Amino acid sequence: MADFPLDPSLAGIGPGYRDENNDIAMPDADMSIGSGLEQVINKYQYDDDEDENVSDADSDYLELEASTAKLDASIAAFREAQRAGADTSGFSGAPHPSRHGVASPASQPSVQEPEPTLTPTPTSRGGSAYRPGRGGPGQPRPSRRRKLGPRKPAEPTPEIKFRLGVANDYFLKRQYDDAKKVLEEIIRLNAETYDAWTLLGTIFDELGDRPKALQAMMAAAHMMPKVTGVWMNAAAYCLQGLDELGGGDEEEWDVEDELELFERREKKKRIFSEARMLYGAAVRADGTNVEARTQLADVCMQLGHAGSAVTQYTRVLELKPLNIRTVRNLADGALDAKDKVKTGAKAREAYRRIVEHCMENDTTVVEEGEFEWSDLRIYLEFFAVTEEWEQASRELKEVSRFLLGRKDETIWQEWQEDDREWDVGEDRRAMVPGYVSGKYPFESYGLGLPIDLRAKLCVYRLKMGHVSEAMLHMEVLDPKDKSPTHNQEAIWRFRAFPDCLKDVGAELLNQSMPNDALDYFDLYRTIAADDEELFIDADFLVNLGRAYLASGNKVAAEESFIGALEEDEFHINARFELAKLYEAESEKEGREEAFLLVNEALNLEAQQRRAELLQDRSALLGKARRKYNRRPMDSDEARAPRKPRAPGEKRKYRPRRFQNPEERQRQELQRKTEILNKYRMCVDLRSEMETGDREAVYRWMAAAKDLYEDFKSSKQFFSWEKYVGLRGFAPILGDTGNDQDKSSKLAAMAARLQQNLAPLEADSQQSHIRTDYYGIPMDDWLDILLEYALHLTYNNQTIESDQVLLSARDSVVFKSRENAFLIHIVWALCAILNGDEEKCVQIARYFMRDYYPEQRVTDTYRLFAAMIRLCQSPPSWYTSGPGQKFILRQIKHMDKAARQGDGSTDTTKLDVCLLTIYGHILYTSQSYPYALSYFMRAASLDPTNPMINLSLGIGYIQYALKRQAPNRQYLITQGFAFFRKYYDNRVASANPGERQEAKFNMGRAYHIIGLGQLALEYYRRVLNNCSEEGELGGRQLVDSVMGREDLCLEAAYNVKTICFQMGDLEGAREVTQRWLVL
């Protein structure tokens, strides 16, 4: 800031003002320091009522005034402390006497003022001084305990207040950019300015930048950590971001793109996670804030953290125990939680508290609503969780009696032997002592009980074994009743509560009454056919299939079980029931199918157990580390029932074994037509794929996937062991490690089926070779499978690609030598694209060992080297122990075959490529002496081979650079001798790329040992050759199938590095500008 002359009146300075060298003089003695300080503070304190229209010049002037007032206040405080005799050596506000021309106190006129009463304390020098913060003689020493919690933000300085006023002016004028600059400067000066963060968040919100606005509001909330409203406002603003997604309910989203749907879900998860953090901070600020805890629990429910939500709802009920909305939310969370028994007890207790209050006060009105029939239905669910059927029956009748207006009829509380209270007629009720007919309306008995609650009462009686009493309820619940005897037909009475039909039917099935159960199931299907909101889920279909099977209808049972698998492909019970159905079949194919189904069920159970263990471990870690949010978002969603499939969603085809021959033939013909249509689509789309049409590629992959799934599911193409392996499980089962009854039954069935099937699989290999399948030649099937694997690799679906190639390799129809070659070549290409070095080594070993079992072909070794060269991954499997042993065994076999009877060696049978590869493996492992021995063997067979001479040269030089090299000078001399042989051979080539390679490698060799001046000469030759060939600027000189082989860029970079190391910055800049600028 520039120096400005100060007006004495601005600083409150009297007539004694002196201006010598811009010194600031003290006020006259006649003026009171205290009053002057008060005037200064009052004058320069920011006034909100001042004129808001301040120009830029006025802003600078006002800022100068504020700085001057701050300085004067500091001077006045310093002088007052000096007059009081206090120790001002550590006074932060006092200027040094040498600064600003302030005279020492001794040179200033004395001011006669009443001095404050101070308590002297002895000093080390025998004097006395006032020490703030210490008690005087006889006074207690103040406590030194540190106050816990966040400290209070400092009062904004006049400068901060002035800048806030300017920012407010800009905001009111909608000059948001200028306001942001001022606020950013305020935050730079003092980041704890709450008003600055708040106004900054408002500005970002006006500009439409919600993420930055939320960040500013969160920063402002941290300035006021104990103010609950600040956190609540930030959380509410965070949840407003759901409006941009189209609401928090995914069913309301009009999104078809899977990627966009995934992004929206992630954004929704992030919004709720941030809101949870903010509401959690509000709860920590005020644990008694009911709204904050309720909102926190609601957000936890949205995230799927039902356990955390139950905890928060329970604490809310400690403050408001009669809030029906909180009780209902607690019940939802308890039913969704993992431990329903533990959480259900809390919800049941909360509901019981509501019921007792309503009965005591003879009202259904409670806080935020009324106790209704729906609350009773939820209340009864928690008795079903703990299987307390008698208590559930008691509570159902007691609360229903209250809701029907018969609370005072207490005679039924002692009558629990049967349910005559709810009979349609009066016959049995009249026999109860104390019952007075007509005292209460007839509608409050019998049919006054809602139909779904009567169904629950029927189920409770069946659970308790009271079948006769349950049959009386079933007379009212008769699904075949079409007469208006019970007010209306059954289909209309159950339309409002169709789920009770499934409950009654399932319990009747458990009581071995399948025909009665089918009546209820059929009525439910009839209602679901007319109601779009109802759907037939997999559990219902399993129960329906069990009922059909118990009644002897195997065809309908099979259809129901397969329908359940089509609705939910991860359903375990459906597989178990279908396996039991097929196990009883006499044909071998049925038992094989049963074995596969049981193994699939066991695998699914194992996956579920692993997921539960991971969740439990996460929960334990979260408690140990006291983390608030450790459970994954979808931990509870994974346990939720699966939604029904869309009408057009693809379903896996499963053949029906119990259908009549005509129906089965019709389905097989339909399946054949679908496969042929998919095949024609693959053929027709090839021309569009060649033009680069991505949409055509996706359509082709969808059709090819269907063809592959059909091929893989056909047992006729695989041996039994291979087929079982492709399905993802081993044929011989071990201990499942689960003591549950269902798992033991699955394991026992699997072992029984395996024992029956194993002896029949001794000669499972098929002797015949098929030429077509569904009329499609097998060669076309192989082409589709291999091309599909390549496209999966291009899409980074490496596991799926390996599965496709594995199924092609293990198939009995692709065992010819030509097919095996194609499969492994494509597999090698996929492994190279995936960077899977392990797979590359395995495929190379197949060609070296299995494809040419009786002879060693040099091309297989070259293929091995080329695959490792192209695979973009560290050479770990290339130099691994098993890989080295395999190549060494190949060398031993080669030496044995070359050794003749007279002890001589037939050199024509020695493979130079094999020796060189093993030398490179040893060289990569830094075993230079052993590598050199194999390179020398190769050089003895082919002394002019440039690769061998280059390998020897590099090996000797690298060996010489090791710390324990025996004779470094000798090794370097040997290395450059081989390098010279390599160089002379290479520069004589007619190929410019080979000449460039020789010069670059020679320069690199000198560069390695630190002879930069010699390396520069060869690097310059590389660059000069590029210019002579007309390839300026580092453009590509050589085209190669192995990629870019032009070394101009590498040479230029090395030249730049050497120039930089030698201090030639100008030369490094020139090389960079000419060769390295892209």
User: Could you write out the three-class secondary structure of 669-688?
Assistant: HHHHHHHHHHHHHHHHCHHH
Q: What is the pLDDT of residue 67?
A: 73
pLDDT above 60 for 870: yes
pLDDT above 80 for 760: no
Q: What is the pLDDT of residue 488?
A: 61
Q: What is the pLDDT of residue 829?
A: 93
**Cα separation, 137 vs 118, whole angstroms:** 12
**Cα separation, 947 vs 52, whole angstroms:** 84
Structure confidence by residue, pLDDT tens digits, 165-184: 999 999 999 999 999 999 99
Domains and CATH numbers, the chain: 8-111 (no CATH), 992-1078 (1.25.40.10)
Structure confidence by residue, pLDDT tens digits, 430-446: 888 888 888 888 888 88
Lowest mean pLDDT among 40-54, 511-525, 800-814: 40-54
Residue 905, helix vs strand vs coil? strand
Tell me if 370 sits within 8 A of 364, measured CB to CB: yes
Average pLDDT, the chain: 78
Structure confidence by residue, pLDDT tens digits, 711-730: 887 878 877 677 666 665 54
**Cα separation, 758 vs 82, whole angstroms:** 104
Is the backbone of residue 650 left (phi > 0), alpha (psi -120 to 50) or beta? Answer: beta
Res. 971 pLDDT band, cuts 50 70 90: very high
Structure confidence by residue, pLDDT tens digits, 473-496: 998 888 887 655 555 667 788 888
0.85 cut: is pTM over it? Answer: no
pLDDT above 80 for 1032: no
Structure confidence by residue, pLDDT tens digits, 58-72: 555 566 677 777 777
Res. 632 pLDDT band, cuts 50 70 90: very low
The predicted model gives 842-858 an average pLDDT of 79
Res. 8 pLDDT band, cuts 50 70 90: very low
Helix axes 572-583, 554-567, angle to 10 degrees: 150
Q: What is the pLDDT of residue 442?
A: 87
Tell me if 237 sits within 8 A of 211, measured CB to CB: no
Which stretches of 32-157 are DSSP H helices? 33-44, 56-83
From residue 538, alpha-carbon distances to 459, 474, 561, 762, 840 in Å are: 21, 26, 8, 38, 44
Structure confidence by residue, pLDDT tens digits, 537-567: 889 999 999 999 999 898 888 888 888 888 8
- Please report, as a single letter, which amino acid is at residue 615: Q
pLDDT > 90 fraction of the chain, expressed in percent and rounded: 38
Structure confidence by residue, pLDDT tens digits, 198-213: 999 999 999 989 999 9
pLDDT > 70 fraction of the chain, expressed in percent and rounded: 74
pLDDT above 90 for 293: yes
Select the more confidently predicted residue: 40 or 902.
Answer: 902
Structure confidence by residue, pLDDT tens digits, 318-359: 999 999 999 999 999 999 888 888 999 999 999 999 999 999
The predicted model gives 869-889 an average pLDDT of 87
Q: Report how far apart the first and last C-alpha atoms of the chain are (Å, whole number).
A: 46
**Cα separation, 804 vs 807, whole angstroms:** 5
Q: What is the pLDDT of residue 621?
A: 42
pLDDT above 90 for 669: no
Tell me if 370 sits within 8 A of 324, measured CB to CB: yes
Lowest mean pLDDT among 341-355, 854-868, 881-895: 854-868
The predicted model gives 688-699 an average pLDDT of 88
Nearest to 941 by CA among 898, 972, 983: 898
